[in-house]
Amino acid sequence: MANSYIALQPSEIALLQATAQIYSAYIVSGRAEPGSEDDYLERSIREAVRIAKTIDSAVTADKEMD
């Protein structure tokens, strides 16, 4: 496997962390069974983005005040 370089922005890092937590919960609970991992990974990403959008619409961040 070739080495690759990834430079994530802070918002992408937050979504990565949320996705990892959601995805790991599916794995630990036994819902992401062998053969369906990709489906649950994609579902975890969608859920993390939905959570982020909900928070963004409900909260005004400091930098959005001006």
Query: What six digits make up the tokens of 29?
Result: 């609970």
Reported confidence tier of residue 61, pLDDT bands at 50, 70, 90: confident
Instruction: Report helix, strand or coil for 1.
Output: coil
Q: What is the pLDDT of residues 7-53, one digit of tens each?
A: 999 999 999 999 999 999 999 999 999 999 999 999 999 999 999 99
Report the pLDDT value the prediction gives residue 66, as an integer from 0 to 100. 60
Instruction: Dump the DSSP string for 20-48.
Output: HHHHHHHHHTT-S-TT-HHHHHHHHHHHH
